[in-house]
Structure 1
């Protein structure tokens, strides 16, 4: 018998919103401060699956179990973006905002994240626009110069955060972690590989 506690309901709501969850994502997001977070996440998801609230499905690479309401293929795009979200969630004080597929006029970012982190007693505000680039087809310089020049992002931050002329740095997620450099001073481009190597140094602490 499962008690549908607020945590259990939040896990189910996450699956409803994003289409899936893994043990690692569940551990980092819903058992962040637990001593045995991964084991607790696995135990909880197994219980939900045994209770037929969700189903367990092997991902297409056989890496790990994907928990869903109904078995379906999870795109690499969504898989890595939500794993990135979970990694950030696990390491920072607070995620203020996260959205997949954020539109800026005729262009869009794969994801948009804002988080706050208290470091040595000081509040550190960070924001990023994120691209998942499986086949290195994205030209981030061309794309984000166009987005920058449109002014949509700056207006968003002016209205929501009260920041003038703010434009986030860009994160490119691909298998190598390599990316081109920005050709302007208003933002920089950061490359991350699929394991998010050096996430702390590249994204959280700068």
Structure 2
């Protein structure tokens, strides 16, 4: 019966560690800072993950798995507005549940020169939105800027929603904002259910 608790604890550790790795990079993130973030001693953290490298790789592996799931769910949709909106729906749900993992996955976009050895996440972002984010890419500048803008907005807004405890209320607003950033207009009205007046 302790197994589900262990898995939940590992998921929380990975998400908090991913957020720290995304913010500070591998070299500047310490086991102590991760342990402090999850309320464990350093020794307690080492019962879950044997070292910082294992923690870092596990966080990236979970981010890659999430990216693969999103790509699998988008496989039937051709490039275009419908695929973009569906991708934003899926990414928003993940980001609201696991903000650290999304921040780590988006690091390929927000800090591409930071740790180029782990560019698998860049591939997923490129595949999801059909745009090459690499240096020297021939992507249309407008599409590139819109994708980076939408992902940046997604990351910041989902972090803010988590911090404020407004995940449910903010979700449709986040998707609509990111959809507009991609140039597709609004996917949903930019009002929350609480803002709407009944007739």
**TM-score computed with the length of structure 1 as normaliser:** 0.29
Higher relative contact order (CA 8 A, sep 6+): 2
More helix by share: 2
More strand by share: 1
**TM-score computed with the length of structure 2 as normaliser:** 0.30
